[in-house]
Amino acid sequence: MAQKEFAGQLIDVNEEGYFTNPQQWNREVAAAVAKEEGLDLTDNHYAILEFLRNRYNSGEALSIRSINKSGIVDVKEFYSLFPGAPLKKSTKIAGIPKPSSCI
């Protein structure tokens, strides 16, 4: 298992950089991961990250559709908050495994 330093903490990650221990996540670590991804986090980013973490922790499937139904942001805003591959990028910053729907 690999480790990477974010915000002065050693975080267990897989070969793609996703956390293998979601308990190591906090807002400071999220901000450091986001910075590496070229993002500065806002309150909307954190709201999405918390939503994703809560869904993951409750065993619910993660999808872009669920983001749209969240009431936090619509799909267009989700893509603008996490440009490129929004679900992959947001789950990485949220400290949870990459969804199986992402290749």
Q: Flag whether 89 is in a domain.
A: yes
Identify the helix (H) or strand (E) that includes residue 62: none
pLDDT (tens digit, 9 = 90+) per residue, 33-92?
Answer: 999 999 999 999 999 999 999 999 999 888 888 898 999 999 999 999 999 899 999 999
Q: Flag whether 64 is in a domain.
A: yes
Residue 99 pLDDT > 80:
no
Q: Flag whether 57 is in a domain.
A: yes
Number of domain units in the chain: 1
Q: Flag whether 100 is in a domain.
A: no
| Positions marked active-site | 102
Instruction: Output the pTM of the full model.
Output: 0.92
Domain residues for the domain of 21 are 2-93
Q: Flag whether 35 is in a domain.
A: yes
Determine the Cα–Cα distance for residues 56 and 67; give it in Å rounded to an integer: 13
Q: Flag whether 101 is in a domain.
A: no
